[in-house]
Amino acid sequence: MKIAEWLQRHPAEVVTVSADASLEQVLAVLLSKPGLRDIYVLADDGQVTGHLSHNKLARLVLAEHRPVHTRRQIIERIACGSAREIMSTHFSTAHPEEELDNVLHRQLEHDVEDMPVIDSEGRLLGTINLTELLHEAYKQSAGS
């Protein structure tokens, strides 16, 4: 099955923020949606430029409660002015013409729960969610 077909069958809400969004704005978005794990950062032209995970945001916000801080953690905490400054710019993506099995393999290999699907211009089309794939596999095996 192609990714484009999966997205049609399983539409998912994808949460985004602008690159200029403050840490407070990003947290407000994260906390407004229970269970949200991933936020994607968009440039003004709509291209996906970064990724913010629930764990990364939790590490930044709750850093003062940790007994030991690494140099990287201290620098991240000091430089947390906007989404652009704290986002990860290296993240895996999928494309609509790819086979679902290939994307699933990458998700499992890299322990990625949500894989953003982007078009040829870098615009976000949706996500492939590992839990949704599990639900589908379970339904198919239960129906057999």
pLDDT by residue (tens digit) across 44-54? Answer: 999 999 999 98
**pLDDT band at residue 67 using 50, 70 and 90 as cut-offs:** low
Residue 76: its pLDDT value, please?
A: 57
AA letter at 90: H
> What is the three-class DSSP state of 48?
strand
CATH superfamily ID and name for 3-143: CBS-domain (3.10.580.10)
Q: Identify the sign of the CA torsion 31, 37, 41, 47.
A: negative
CB neighbourhood size of 44 (10 A): 9
| Residue pLDDT, tens place only, 88-115 | 898 899 999 999 999 999 999 988 889 9
State how far the alpha carbon of 55 is from the alpha carbons of 51, 58, 109, 142, in Å: 12, 5, 19, 33
| Residue pLDDT, tens place only, 9-22 | 999 889 999 999 99
Q: Are 16 and 42 in contact (CB under 8 A)?
A: yes
Q: What are phi and psi of 20, to 5 degrees?
A: -90, 0
Quote the percentage of the chain above a pLDDT of 90.
47
| Residue pLDDT, tens place only, 114-141 | 999 999 999 999 999 988 888 888 888 8
